[in-house]
Amino acid sequence: MDEKPYQLLGHAREPIPATPGHDRKEDSEYVRHGTCSIFVWVEPLRGWRHVDAHPRRTKLDWAHQVDRLLTCDYPDAEKVVLVMDNLNTHTIGSLYEAFPPEKAFGLAQRLEIHYTPKHGSWLNIAEIELSALTGQCLDRRIDDLGVLNTELAAWQQATNADQRQVNWHFTTADARVKLRHLYPEQLEATAY
């Protein structure tokens, strides 16, 4: 799971359409229509993604996203393994702020949370998906949250139809080299 801020931008002047032999022309000036937060959920081995945008990025927004994940996408799963960064909103406490204690406890019991190391969010597969989403769907100006969610839903449907899995090649041995400062040194066994 990951999220990113997104600026809703409109055109200051209408773009000039493409004509034979000429590309579409777009003014570099834009009109800012606010910001939002895009949430991305990825199940890498199944090739499944869920993406949507919300006006804010708060603890309550994250908690409601978790609730949707567990009740709509994985209603029968006993445990859902969730890999995410250490953002201040990504805590079990957020569930207790959003829901009555019984519901928050029930949701929390179904989560197995793993946080990426500090400065290691690139280990989060959802961040890789955000990069793909940015290049494939967010490569133009979108000035309205509703339009953005329509575009995100279309991208989600197309990628889920492809069931494009994530083939992760980063092994523990690679991690011990690349993230040497996070691993304790292994001492050589000596015979006594």
Residue 145 lies in a domain: yes
Res. 105 pLDDT band, cuts 50 70 90: very high
Residue 179 lies in a domain: no
Q: What is the CATH number of the domain that holds 141?
A: 3.30.420
Residue 191 lies in a domain: no
Burial class from Cβ neighbours inside 10 Å (0-12, 13-18, 19+) for residue 174 reads exposed
What residue numbers bound the domain in which 44 lies? 2-16+25-162
Res. 99 pLDDT band, cuts 50 70 90: very high
- Residue position matching structure tokens 């890789």: 128
Residue 120 Cα distances to 55, 80, 113, 129, 192, angstroms: 27, 22, 16, 15, 39
Asked whether residue 189 carries a pLDDT value surpassing 70, the answer given is no
Residue 188 lies in a domain: no
Residue 50 lies in a domain: yes
Looking at residue 116, its pLDDT comes to 82
The total domain count for the chain is 1
Structure tokens at 103: 């519901």
Asked which of 78-82, 117-121, 154-158 is least confident by mean pLDDT, the reply is: 117-121
